[in-house]
Amino acid sequence: MKFMGIHLFDFFRKYSWILGSLLLVYGLYIYLNDKTEFFSNKDDAYGIVYGVTSLRIVRYNGLLYKYKFRYKGKDFLGKTTKSYAGNFEKNIYYKVKFIPGNPKKNEISFENKYIQKIKLDNKGKVIDTIYFTVN
């Protein structure tokens, strides 16, 4: 098939590097935009690891940590393959960073452990939730 006297196959073969470069630049733009948004518009919550799964993919052999956290009364889930040296204990929380406009974009940090303490009034209604660092 010819287009303006040039075979289409030859045209695409000759100029495919331009299309590839544009796709690479666009992908890089999307990636950097997401990272910039994440680090400039982030908020913190406390999440708990609810599952650890062994993960074996082509060149990766490690653990997949599943965690959940609450934001504005809704539960959100996350997954990470970050390394963690210790064992997970029951009722231990970790800090989760997320984008308030899109909490599905989140990241857990295993740097510190936290314990949750809930303050109740005389009628048993929750007044406040406080997180203390565990050594």
Least confident of 9-13, 14-18, 126-130: 9-13
**Per-residue model confidence as pLDDT tens digits over 62-111:** 888 899 999 998 999 999 988 887 777 778 999 999 988 889 889 999 98
Is the entire prediction scored with pTM above 0.75? no
Domain boundaries, the chain: 2-37, 43-134
Residue 34 has pLDDT above 80, yes or no: no
For range 109-128, the mean pLDDT:
90
- In the prediction, which pLDDT does 6 show? 64
* pLDDT interval class at 57 (50, 70, 90): confident
Residue pair 112/94 in contact (Cβ under 8 Å)? The answer is yes
Q: Which of 44, 41, 54 lies closest to 93, judged by CA?
A: 44
Mean pLDDT of 30-38: 77
Closest listed residue to residue 116, CA positions, set 96, 86, 98, 91: 91
